[in-house]
Amino acid sequence: MLKNIPANMQGYKLLITEAPQPKVRENENGVQEVVTDRQGAQQFVVSLFAKRKTEPGQYAEKGEEIKVTLTADPGDGFEEGTYVQLIDATMSHWQNERNGRYSSGISFRAHGLTPAS
């Protein structure tokens, strides 16, 4: 499976639609658990609306909301409505099977956020 492919998001406007918060998942017993990496560092998640930047006279394509896992706490100043850039963004293919149903997709990860210039 393809993992940690560098993702160049420089050509996109990224708008925070849900502020960063600790990443959680439901375990086998239905209990919410905080997600950490292999070293025990807490992970965070942010929802972004990604839309391609356009030049005058170009067609403005529709954007899409993406969730990005952050490998560290991004700090303060990243509220809903803030334009940001991702630090060292990557994407990975994933797939799983649960109760006989298969699903797959692309996940996004970054080392952090920085205000858009």
Its pTM stands at 0.86
Q: Where is pLDDT greater, at 22 or 59?
A: 22
pLDDT at 27: 87
- The beta strand positions in 23-100, using DSSP E, are 24-26, 32-34, 44-52, 64-70, 83-87, 90-98
pLDDT in tens, 39-78: 988 999 999 999 999 888 888 889 999 999 999 999 999 9
Mean pLDDT of the chain: 93
Q: Where is pLDDT greater, at 110 or 54?
A: 110
Helix (H) or strand (E) holding 19: strand 12-22
Give the C-alpha separation, 75 to 90, whole Å.
Answer: 20
Examine the pLDDT at 1 and tell me if it is beyond 70.
no
Burial of residue 6, with CB atoms counted within 10 A of its CB: 0-12 exposed, 13-18 middle, 19 or more buried: exposed
For the chain, which residues make up each domain, given as ranges?
Answer: 5-115
Domain 5-115 CATH superfamily: Nucleic acid-binding proteins (2.40.50.140)
pLDDT in tens, 89-106: 999 999 988 888 999 999
Residues 6+ apart with CB under 8 A from 93: 1, 2, 3, 104, 105, 106
